[in-house]
Amino acid sequence: MTGYSPEELIGMDGTVLFAENSYEIARSKMLNGDEKPYETIGKRKNGEEFPVRLEARNVPYKGKIVRTTEFRDITEQKQAEKSLKERDEIFRHFMENSPVYVFFKDTDIKAIQLSKNYENLLGLPLDQIIGKSMDELFPSDLAKKMIADDMKVLREGKLKVVDEEFNGRCYTTIKFPIIIDGKPAYLAGYTIDNTERRRAEETLKSSEERLKVLFNFAPEAYFMIDLTGVILDGNIASEKLLGYDKMELVGKSFFDLNILPEKDLLKAAKLLSNSEIGKSNGPEEYVLIKKDGSMVTAEITTYRVQMGGQTKILGIARDISERKSRKKKCKLHLITGTKRFRQCTTELRCLTQTRKLYK
């Protein structure tokens, strides 16, 4: 330990075994015959300093009072104490600055350690919270549920996640046992205030529901398609347009459904290709084949959209069959009217010429 041999130690001035700044302390203890244990800094033969613990006794020996001293190297102990102190400091800073609520309870379900933010949650300083039961800190119904959950975690030795409400806010708590010597000795856990997240989720859900209603009841036929042409969703108008229940279409490619005549398949493939590189398409006319085999003319516009991190295609189809029919009839009426006008013009010319001859 000191680097000296027993032969070198015999007859040596004992103060040589101490660091310079510890020499006077050691000498004073020796001269005063102090028998209380103390710690100081020792020095090895090579000059290296190290922490030591000394405990001396003044005992009679051959008619004299001699001093026997236990000289113990406590380097490892000091290193362990330093590490423990550092861990305690880390834990203290963590508990003082944790954004989540951290707790430790004993088997009587009383708080033994809590993070600093519990002071804001409960409106009390920590020293008035530690050691209290849940009944003393929380409303009766919530306290009873907490105690029941805590006892179950200790009894079963398993982690448990619970959702709780307190003072109008929403919390999620994760509880778990601390096992010592094979038995749950303490309960620990942390509580997260997820009020804002839940409100955001509810707002998002409400927004999604509104969008779903708008999608389903839109007057035009809406289709949601992936980049391979597989139909992902459709609205009520799409069912009416094609005569299919949408569940007969969802999960199937429109290339395989026989809803497009062969002449329009190439155009539809080009539509998908353009959508894949971010181009919108349309409006373009397509002839669609209904479930009963009848034809309907639709004007289709597509948009590339992002949903859930995936690229999809929103297709909007408008039935223009009636408009096409009216246009065809108007054209037919125009052609017929033009012929009749020309015929009347010819007849009028003939009548005019005939009247001239009679004059």
| 215 shares its domain with 315 | yes
Determine the Cα–Cα distance for residues 6 and 1; give it in Å rounded to an integer: 11
Give the Cα separation of 342 and 348 in Å (integer). Answer: 10
User: Can you give the pLDDT at residue 284?
Assistant: 86
pLDDT digits (tens, 9 = 90+) for 35-51: 889 899 989 989 999 99
- Helix, strand, coil: what percent of the chain each, to 5? 45, 30, 25
Whether residue 140 is found in the same domain as residue 224: no
283 with 315, same domain: the answer is yes
Residue 142 lies in a domain: yes
Whether 136 is covered by a domain: the verdict is yes
Distance between CA 222 and CA 212 in Å, rounded?
Answer: 11
The answer on 283 and 237 residing in a single domain is yes
Q: How far is residue 340's CA from residue 349's CA, in Å, rounded to a whole number? A: 14
pLDDT of residue 331: 62
Distance CA 297, CA 122 (A): 68
Note whether 108 and 49 are same-domain residues: no
Looking at 134, 161, 193, the residue that finishes a domain is 193
- Do the Cβ atoms of 146 and 138 come closer than 8 Å? yes
Do 246 and 257 touch, CB atoms closer than 8 A? no
Q: Is the pLDDT score of 357 beyond 80?
A: no
Residue 2 confidence (pLDDT)? 85
Integer-rounded Cα radius of gyration of the chain: 46
Decide which of 278 and 192 is more confident. Answer: 192
Least confident range from 52-66, 164-178, 268-282, 299-313: namely 268-282
Check pLDDT > 60 for residue 358: no
309 shares a domain with 216: yes
Cβ atoms of 15 and 40 within 8 Å: the answer is no
Could you tell me if 96 and 115 are in contact, meaning their C-beta atoms sit under 8 angstroms apart? yes
Judgement on whether residues 179 and 104 belong to the same structural domain of the protein? yes
Q: Of 61-75, 133-147, 173-187, 234-248, which gets the smallest average pLDDT?
A: 61-75
Query: Could you give the number of structural domains in the chain?
Result: 3
Contact, 286 vs 278, CB < 8 A?
Answer: no
Domain for residue 153, yes or no? yes
How sure is the predictor about 20, in pLDDT bands with cuts at 50, 70 and 90? confident
The SS3 call for residue 105 is strand
User: Looking at 17, 47, 79, which one is the last position of a domain?
Assistant: 79
- For residues 219 and 313, state if they share a domain: yes
**pLDDT above 90 covers what percent of the chain?**
50
- Mean pLDDT of the region 336-357: 66
- C-alpha to C-alpha distances, 69 to 41, 254, 295, nearest whole angstrom: 15, 96, 110
Q: What is the mean pLDDT of the chain?
A: 87
Q: Does residue 64 lie in a domain region?
A: yes
**64 has a pLDDT exceeding 70:** yes
Q: 273 lies in which domain range?
A: 211-319
Q: End of a domain among 141, 160, 193?
A: 193
Question: Could you tell me if 70 and 105 lie in one domain?
Answer: no
309: CATH: 3.30.450.20
User: Would you place residue 335 in the very low, low, confident or very high pLDDT band (cuts 50, 70, 90)?
Assistant: low
The tens digit of pLDDT for each residue in 282-333 reads: 788 889 999 999 999 999 888 888 887 888 989 999 998 887 767 666 666 5
Report yes or no on 325 lying in a domain.
no
Q: Are strands 49-61 and 183-193 parallel, antiparallel or unpaired?
A: unpaired
Within a domain: 334: no
- Other beta carbons within 10 angstroms of residue 275's beta carbon come to 22
Q: What percent of the chain has pLDDT over 70?
A: 90
User: Which range is least confidently modeled, 119-128, 198-207, 240-249?
Assistant: 198-207
User: Is position 180 within any domain?
Assistant: yes
Q: Is the pLDDT of residue 239 over 70?
A: yes
Q: Residue 278 falls within a domain, yes or no?
A: yes
pLDDT at 173: 96
In sequence order, the β-bridge partners of residue 223 are 234, 315
Same domain, 117 and 46: no
Task: Mark whether 297 and 226 lie in a shared domain.
Answer: yes
pLDDT, mean of residues 2-6? 87
More confident residue, 331 or 174: 174
Predicted TM-score (pTM) of this structure: 0.57
* 312 token code pair: 């999809």
Question: Is the distance from CB of 149 to CB of 160 less than 8 angstroms?
Answer: yes
Q: What is the model's pLDDT at position 338?
A: 65
Residues 215, 189 share a domain:
no
The residue-averaged pLDDT of 205-232 equals: 90
Average pLDDT of the segment spanning 169-194: 95
